[in-house]
Amino acid sequence: MLSDKIVLITGAGSGIGQSLALAFAREGARVAVNDVAPERVAATVALVTQAGGAAVAAPFDIANFDAVATAVQPLEQGQGRIDVLVNNAAVLAGHVPFLETRPADNDREIKVILYGTLHCSRAVLPGMIARRSGKLVNIATDAARVGQEREVVYSAAKGGVISFTKSIAREVGRHNINVNAVSPSATDTPLRRKILDDMATKIGADAVREREDKVRRAYPLRRIGEAEDVARAVLFLASDAARHITGQILSVNGGFAMPG
């Protein structure tokens, strides 16, 4: 269902974004791999190519609209179009209480998560509107839906992404464009593993294992999510199977939260 589609994925240099790139490539899509770090872009492109998929490098800083516009125009011209945009890139400056965060770090989180989503959407939507076809899938978080201590600004920025998803879906639906979001909970990514490693340094490995056991018990499915779980949901929303779904927030969370 996604064969020959052109898909731009932000933050695809590692973690969930990298899994998304590989998943779309397996489905026959041509993937434009974005990340602010060219070396991470190159690593993901290499993985996709080694797996037999098709990928092109698209390194640029989504927090800077001029950089986005400058990069997206030749990308569209070179590939012919962008069929799917996955706004995945995010920054978590630190896992600390809000009053211990720095305003400069807060600013970066908001610029990458919220403004990055706005910038990339602004760049690709005109082409989708002209073709009367397109899919936007935004990566949110259940931390924005239910609240999360020590991730306050990250959660706030993702909350903006959720609101943007619903609002822009109302504006562009008349052009046959679907806009949805996938909202994960705790997911086993390099970022999460780093947080746990830092925590182990402070409180000890045994205490971290006990904490993780407690976290898993909070999930009805008794497991921490994996990047592949998120990728499968994104593939569905980007496919024609989801043609009558728009403005929705799909939690992929093992039942941790069940918002109405």
| Residues with active-site annotation | 154
Radius of gyration of the chain, Cα coordinates, nearest whole angstrom: 18
Q: Phi/psi at 250 (nearest 5 deg)?
A: -100, 110
Q: Phi/psi at 188 (nearest 5 deg)?
A: -75, 95
Q: Quote the tokens at residue 47.
A: 């993985």
Query: Are 34 and 60 in contact, with CB atoms under 8 Å apart?
Result: yes
- Contacts (Cβ under 8 Å, ≥6 apart) of 232: 23
Q: Quote the tokens at residue 117.
A: 């989503």
Residue 20's closest CA among 202, 154, 189, 156? 189
CA angle, 45 then 118 then 128, to 5°: 70
Query: Are 35 and 61 in contact, with CB atoms under 8 Å apart?
Result: no
Which phi-psi region, left, alpha or beta, contains residue 101 (left: φ > 0; alpha: ψ -120 to 50)? Answer: beta
Neighbour count for residue 197 (Cβ, 10 Å): 11
Terminal CA-CA length for the chain:
30
